[in-house]
Amino acid sequence: MLVLSRYQNETIMIGDDVAITVVEIRGDKVRLGIEAPKSIDVHRREVWAKIKAGQDEEGGEAIPVPAA
């Protein structure tokens, strides 16, 4: 895992198309803004896991979810 430190209003780029900006830091909570092409799904991990679990029930391949 790559760990980066950023201050408020600073951005991290993933490839050429995905930008993650620290919008706000309040106590122990960080708000992130994510800019990505519409072709890239962006979900919180718990939502992503439920989507993948639903795909498995429909006969899709199960994808293990690493512990956070």
**How far apart are alpha carbons 9 and 47 in whole angstroms?**
26
- How confident is the model at residue 41, as a pLDDT? 94
Cβ proximity of 32 and 21 under 8 Å: yes
Q: Where are the domains of the chain?
A: 10-53
Closest-CA residue to 21 (of 13, 11, 35): 11
Cβ proximity of 4 and 12 under 8 Å: yes
- How confident is the model at residue 54, as a pLDDT? 87
Question: Each residue of 42-59: pLDDT tens digit?
Answer: 999 999 999 999 887 766
- How confident is the model at residue 55, as a pLDDT? 82
Mark the ranges of the chain whose per-residue pLDDT is less than 70: 58-68
pTM: 0.74
